[in-house]
Structure formats: structure tokens, C-alpha cells
Amino acid sequence: MKIRIDVLGLRPLVACAVAASAGVVAPASAQVRVANYNISALEGNLASLQAVFAAMHTDDKPGFAVPVGMFVFAEVRNADIGSLTTLVNNSAPAGVTYTRATYTTTPTEDGATGAQALFFRSDLFVEVPNTHANIATGGSRNTDRWTLNFKDYTSAGSRFHVYGSHLKASNTSADAAERESGVIAIRNNSNAFGAGVQALYVGDMNFYTNSEAGYQAFMAAGNGQAVDPLGTSNWTGSANAIKHTQSPRLASGALVGGGMDDRFDFILPTVALADGAGFAIIPNTTRAFGNDGNHFDQDINNGNNSYYPTNLARGNALADHLWAASDHIPVLMEMKAPAWCAASLGTYPVRVVQGAGGVVVPVLVGNDAPGDFAVGIDALAYSVAGSGVLSGTSNGTAPLMPSVATVNVPVSTATVGVRTGTATVTSANQGVQNPSTALNVSVRVLRASNPSLSTASDVDSATIGFSPMLKGPAVTATATVANFAFTADQATLDIDSVQVPSGPFSYVSGAANGLGATPATLTFRFDPSGLAAGTYSQVATIVTSDENIPGAASRSVTVTLSATIDPGAPGNPADLNGDGVVDGVDLGVLLSGWAGGGTSDLNGDGTTDGVDLGILLANWG
């Protein structure tokens, strides 16, 4: 029976040194770091064990750091499961919590150093209820099978299985045969899921060589065929020291000794998780954590440890904790998460003029998998196809949100009326969330507005006559501007300007925007001041346009303004008493009408004031 003791390494242990040296890790990354660790039934130094957990989160050996997505532990006794849960969560970065998957054990397993346990990040995964299985695989221990799903994903490819194993130890032929039998039981279970099964075989397999039958049984063809990320060639001897996981210590006692000379600990994905598509391993990221390859058959903390080549202090601190925590070191592997297709419509015109060119509906596509690192998320390949009022097909690769790819889908404007269509966004990525999204659009295609000087017929030019006059103040006349034959399928009409050449005629008021069934009334003025008897005319141009929507165009109508001054009237309106001369008498008449209207209102603005006085004085004599 082993007795738990505190062990000391070759250097003083600093519990927080490893975690502090690498800085803070953002918890939002979706990339999955898988950790496999035989924790020796918690018989090592628990402070060092927690420090090793913390160091796994900050490990940037592959070029990035990310919190562990799932821990798979071997040698977990029932009495220790609570303590282990505390250690895991106390080591987690701020904002990251871990949930323990279904844990089962038996007195027999506890007597054989304990069962397997799985902890997963609560923000990344959920355990699929009632799918846990115990598979008898020898060594007085069962293999645990858990089924996990990426949180909030519903796609079939976001579900996978984790087999946690601790196969029979020791190196007799009988032990090897028992390991082979255990692997066959695991493979029979995974093969039953059918072709393309997504599974990870994780644990302390106790394989001594790559030729061992149990290892070869994992690699055998079939639905659940495994792939070894480190290759299937020989892993023994000093030339392969970088792959070894046991033992980080020479001396034995509560923990098994012997030095770093065995590769017992594995993470083996099935072929479906090693194909680079969807949820898949990231190549060249599987590593024996803290093993620099320079400590074959030695204590892992003998001299300097160069696992972090540019930071020996960090590597040495990690090696001290590994030496004290367990008689195995962890195996880490990085995996990328499935893509998440997020598609939406940008702002688009819901009203357009018939025949408008270049009208598009923007479709926004982004990869909304919950993470920050592109290397840890499956690149989202997408296609956008238009139907109905929309047309065309476009393909591309979407960036990680909040960035998006914008696909401008053409709109047909040939036919008047309410036109509908669909932009369908699809992705064939393995395990992608939202593989198909239909985005519906509605666009009203409008006839062009039609300016008319009549509500009864389409009139583009007309004459407005002012009443014949003898003399006196300015007079006004009106013109009607309609949006002829207006219906809901016609653009509204804007009167943009009324242009009258310089002269006795002028525009007063009435321009309006958004004319539909109700016409506008424009007012014009004729000012006879200083004019001789006769007929006067000018052409006013009324410039209109469609409402401000795609395809809007300008159109004009013209009004001929005409007025006659009676030949019998004096030629000078400032001659207020009609005696043929503008003099003091006329000034007296004007002053007597001051502030009022009437004939003394020479400019016709409704008030006799200084302006009218100026007109009179200008015509004096």
C-alpha cells in the first residue's frame, strides 16, 4: 500500500512561478487544449500538482496559450474526487470554470489506484446525458467513455466521444495480452458508432513499444481507427526522449521512479479527428508537457530544463513541479473547434425604381465560433446563392467575428410590384453550426414618377395667364403639379426646383417632396411696376425627380407665364393720380396710404412702405 508523502525536488518549489511567468490567458478562445495526465492517486505534492495544472493553461510552446479545454485524468480514487475538483478549478484562469463529467468507480478500481475522470470547460462543452459507459479493459480498471458536445452547437459533427483508459501495467507477455484485449474492447465499442466516428483514446496505455499488439489494435483499420500524432515509428531510447512521459524522477517511494524513459501516456484521435476538417487536431501540437528531450533516464529537473528554450527559469520551475506532482508528466494536444456560420442581411433598399442598375442586397457572413485564435477554429468556407428577385452565386471564406465578409447579391428591377427573394447561405464544413441559412428579402419595384400639369391627363407643358390689368400691384396665378396616375407601385415625386428667368415674373411658393395622389400648387407673381402696356411672357421650368431611391431620375415640365397690361393704362404705375407726371401730388397720395395696400403699394407686397417710396422717387418727373 502506498503512503502519500510530500516530496522535494532538486530545486526549491515555487508554487506560482510557472503560471505567473506566462501572463494572463484570455478565456474566450474556442480552440481545445486536451490534457492527459496520470496524477498518481494524488500521492505527489498537491501544491505542485496545482501548479502543473496552472502551467498547462499558460503553455505557449506551440506559439499560443489557451486554457485547457478538457482534462482526462488516470488514477482518481473516489475519496479524492472532491479534492481534485478543487485543484482543477483553483488552477483555472479568471473566468474559466470546469465541470466534472460523469465519474464512476468501484472498490476494485479504487484498489487498483483509481478510475478515470474527465473535467471540461463549462463555456465550451456539455456532456450528453446518459451516454457514459464503463468498458472492462483489464488491469482491474474500466475504460470510461464520455460523450461531449460543443456548447450551443446542434450539428452532428460537434459531438464526439472520449475514452479514458488506464490499461494493464508491467511488461510480461500476459500483461501485453491483457492490454490488447482491452484495446479490442474499446475498438469494438467505438466501431459500433459507424463510419466517421469522432473519438479520442486518452490515457495511460502502458505500451512499451510500437510493435505491441495493443498499440497496433488501436491503429488497425475500421470505423474507429486511431491516428498517432507523433507517428507510429519506434519511440524507445534516447533518440526519442522527447516523447517520453514516465517517470520524471529517478527515486521511487510514494511515486514510481526510474527516470524519463517510457512513453506510456497517449492521446490518439480517430481518423475523423485527424483529417483537418471541422473538429480536428492541429498538426504538430502534441507534446509531452515539460519534456525538453534532454533528460533521458534522468530526473526531469536535473540541471536546466529547456522546454522553454528562451526562458530557462520558467522551464526549471515547471520541471520542479512535474518532478514533485506525479510519476507521469502530462500529454497536451491542440484541436480546432468546428466553424459557426453566422449570416445576416445588411441594410438594403426596399424601394427601387424600375430598371435601376447596380441594386444589391448585402449579405454578411462571419465565423462566430466562440474564440479569438484563427488557428483554433475551422476556417468557414461558404456559398451565397440568390433566388427570386435575387440572383447569382458567390463563394468565399469568412473571417472570425466581429469581422464579416460582405457579399453583394444583385437585385432584379425589371418587373414592377412587390418582389421577394431569398439569399441562401450554405457551408459544407464538417460539423459546422448553421450549415444552411435562408435570408428572405422583399423589394418593391416602382414605376418612375410622372410629373404632369394636370390631374386629368399627362400634360408636360401649359400656359398660365394672368388677368388683364390696367396698372397697380403685382398679381399672382397658380399652376398644378401632379404625380400623374399615381398608385402604390409608383415612385413619389419631388419638386426639386422652379426656375424662372429674370423679369417681371417670379416664383412664390408651393414646391413639395413626396407627392403621391395629392398634387402640389405652385404660385407665381407678375409685377407690372414700371412696365409699359403690352403682353409679357416667360417660360418657367419645373424640375422634378423620383423619390431618393435607387434608379431615381429627373424630369421637367414647363409653364408659360403670360400677362397683359391694358394699353389704355398709363405707362408709369408711380403716377398715382394719373396726370402723366410723378410729382409731389403722387408723393402725397403714397404717404396718405402709408402702411396700407391699394394703389400706393407699388411693388404689390401688400404694404405701402419705404420700398414703394423708393419706386416713386426713382420715377420722379
CA distances from 113 to 49, 75, 109, 142, 481 (A): 17, 5, 7, 12, 95
Kindly state the average pLDDT of the residues 474-496.
96
* Res 201 pLDDT > 70: yes
Read off the pLDDT band of 7 (50, 70, 90). Answer: very low
Cell of 520: 402640389
Read off the pLDDT band of 10 (50, 70, 90). Answer: very low
**What proportion of the chain, given as a percentage, has pLDDT over 70?**
94
Which amino acid is located at 544 in the chain?
T
Ranges 9-13, 90-94, 364-368, 413-417: which has the least confidence: 9-13
* Res 589 pLDDT > 70: yes
List domains and CATH numbers for the chain. 31-336 (3.60.10.10), 341-446 (2.60.40.10), 451-571 (2.60.40.10), 574-621 (1.10.1330.10)
Cell of 52: 502543473
Read off the pLDDT band of 567 (50, 70, 90). Answer: low
DSSP assignment of 130-183 equals T--EEEE-STT-EEEEEEEEETT--SGGGEEEEEEEEPPPS-SHHHHHHHHHHH
**Amino acid 525: pLDDT:** 95
Kindly state the average pLDDT of the residues 486-492.
98
Kindly state the average pLDDT of the residues 563-583.
74
pLDDT in tens, 18-52: 333 333 344 445 589 999 999 999 999 999 999 99
Kindly state the average pLDDT of the residues 529-535.
85
**Amino acid 616: pLDDT:** 87
Of 124, 123, 146, nearest to 134 by C-alpha is 146
- How many Cα atoms sit within 13 Å of 6 on the Cβ side? 4
Rounded to the nearest integer, the mean pLDDT of the chain is 92
pLDDT in tens, 132-166: 999 999 999 999 999 999 999 999 899 999 999 99
* Count of CB atoms situated within 10 Å of the CB of 382: 26
* Res 11 pLDDT > 60: no
- Whether pTM > 0.85 for this model: the answer is no
CA distances from 126 to 101, 149, 482 (A): 9, 5, 66
DSSP assignment of 585-611 equals HHHHHHHHTTTS-GGG-TT-SSS-SHH
Which amino acid is located at 548 in the chain?
N
* Res 15 pLDDT > 50: no
**Amino acid 2: pLDDT:** 28
* Res 597 pLDDT > 90: no
**H or E stretch covering 616:** helix 610-618
* Res 402 pLDDT > 60: yes
